[in-house]
Amino acid sequence: MRDRARVLHSAALRRLAAKTQVVAVGGDDFPRTRLTHSLECAQIGRELGGTLGCDPDLVDAACLAHDLGHPPFGHNGEAALAELAAGIGGFEGNAQSLRLLTRLEAKVPGAGLNLARATLDATLKYPWLGPGEAAGSGGKYGAYGDDGEAFHWIREDAPSNRACLEAQVMDWADDVAYSVHDLEDGLHAGLITFDVLRDEKERDVVAELTIATYCPPGFTTEAELAGVFAELLELDCWPASFDGSPAAVAAVKSLTSELIGRFCSAAEQATRPAGHPPLRRYDADLTVPRQQRLECALLKGVAAHYVMSRRGVVAAQAREREIIAELAESILAGAPGTLDPLLRPAYLAAANDRGRHRVVIDQVASLTDTSAMAWHERLRG
C-alpha cells in the first residue's frame, strides 16, 4: 500500500498526463493519455490479480509504474532515444521505468522511491539486463547495465529470466487495456468504423499487419487470424454502428467492458481453475488461452492500421524524431546549465562522457510531449 501511494504521488506519473498514448495529446478532450491508460491498466490488473490470489496493491503499484519511463511522443520517441543512446547501453522504456523507480525519482536520496523488492520485481516484465549484459530476445529488457546493482538486488533468488506472476498480470492488463481502449479512442476519433471492420478485405489487411507486428514468428497464420477475427465480430456485444449519440456511446462502453471481461476471465479460468488455491509470486505463470491472445493482438492491429498508420502520421513522426535528436544535442552542448536542477548533480558527478550522455538521455526522456516542444523552441530558437 505504501509503494502504491509513492508511485501514485510521483512526478513521473503526473507527467504521463501529457504524453501520447495513440492519438496525440491536445488534439481532442476524449483520447487516452499515458496517465489515463496507466490508471485503467491498474484497475484491470488489480481485479485480475486479486482473483488469482496476488496482493491487489502490489499489482496495482506495478501497473501504475509500468509506463513511467516512456519518453515524449510515445514509441516514436522511444525509437529516437534508442538511436541516440546506442553507444551507452541503449534506451528502453521498461528499463527507464526501473531507473526512475530506483534512482531518478526524488523520494529517498540514492534509492528513488525506495520501493520494496516485491514491488520492483512486479514491474519487471523483461527480467534481464540490456545489451552487452545477457540481453533477452526481441530487443526488450528490464534494466540498463548501469543499473545492474539494483537489478541484481531485486532479482536475488528469483528464477532466471522468469517474470513473477504479478508482473505477468501487469503485462496482460497492459495489453488488454490498450488494445480495447485504443479501439474505443479510434471509434470516437472517427478513424475506425464498424463497417470497415466487417469488410473481409479490410480484415485481411489488419490480419497481415497483426502477424508482422504483434505475433512471434510462426505463431499464427493469416487464415487462422481471419477466422478468429470473424468469430470475435460475431459476439453479441458489438454495436451495429457508432454515431456519437448517447445510445451509441453507451453501446461502445458496454463493448469495452465485455471485451475486458472476456480477456481477463479467460486468463483467470486458465490460470486458477475453480477450487485451486490462491497464487502469487512464483507459484505459477499466467496462462492466457490462444484464442484471447489472438483476439487481443487483432485489436492492436486495428488501432495500428487505422490510427497509427493513417495519412500524415509518418511525416509527423519523422519531425518528432528530429525534435528529440536536436533537443538532446542542444542540452548536451549547454549542460549542466541546460539541465533541470534535479539532474545537474548527476551530470557533474558522472565519471566520463558515457555517464554524462546518460543524464542527458534521462532529461529528454523525462519531458512530456508539450514540454519537449517548448524546450526545443527555447533552446533551438
Interval 19-75: pLDDT, tens: 765 555 455 555 678 899 999 999 999 999 999 999 999 999 999 999 999 999 888
pLDDT of residue 127: 95
Alpha-carbon span 21 to 64, nearest angstrom? 15
pLDDT of residue 318: 87
pLDDT digits (tens, 9 = 90+) for 67-103: 999 999 888 889 999 999 998 989 999 999 999 999 9
Residue holding cell 500500500?
1
**DSSP-derived 3-state class of residue 91:** coil
pLDDT-based confidence at residue 137 (cuts at 50, 70, 90) = very low
pLDDT digits (tens, 9 = 90+) for 202-248: 999 999 999 999 999 999 998 999 999 999 999 999 998 898 899 99
Number of neighbouring beta carbons within 10 Å of residue 203: 22
Number of neighbouring beta carbons within 10 Å of residue 71: 28
Peptide bond into 246 cis (omega under 30): no
- Domains of the chain by range and CATH? 2-154 (1.10.3210.10), 165-313 (no CATH), 317-380 (no CATH)
Q: How far is CA 102 from CA 82, 150, 261, in A?
A: 21, 7, 34
Q: Which residue has the higher pLDDT, 308 or 125?
A: 125
pLDDT of residue 355: 93
pLDDT of residue 75: 83
Residue 115 in contact with residue 101, Cβ under 8 Å?
yes
Alpha-carbon span 98 to 67, nearest angstrom? 10
pLDDT (average), residues 335-346:
94
pLDDT-based confidence at residue 132 (cuts at 50, 70, 90) = low
CA torsion sign for 248, 250, 254, 260 is: positive
Whether the predicted pLDDT of 134 surpasses 50: no
Alpha-carbon span 236 to 222, nearest angstrom? 24
Give bridge partners of residue 20 from the DSSP assignment.
33
DSSP state of 350: -
CA torsion sign for 225, 170, 101, 131 is: negative
| Cβ partners under 8 Å of residue 194, min gap 6 | 238, 239, 240, 241, 242
Residue 142 in contact with residue 94, Cβ under 8 Å?
yes
Residue 66 in contact with residue 49, Cβ under 8 Å?
no
Q: State which amino acid sits at residue 21.
A: Q
pLDDT of residue 27: 52
| Cβ partners under 8 Å of residue 119, min gap 6 | 3, 58, 61, 62
- Of 34-48, 171-185, 258-272, 312-326, give the lowest mean pLDDT range: 312-326
Q: State which amino acid sits at residue 43.
A: Q
- Of 131-140, 161-170, 290-299, 363-372, give the lowest mean pLDDT range: 131-140
CA-based Rg of the chain, rounded to a whole angstrom?
Answer: 21
Alpha-carbon span 119 to 1, nearest angstrom? 10
What pTM was estimated for this model as a whole? Answer: 0.90
pLDDT of residue 167: 97
Residue holding cell 492491429?
301
pLDDT (average), residues 353-371:
94
Phi, psi of 20 (to 5 degrees): -65, 135
Helices (H) and strands (E) in the chain, counts: 18, 0
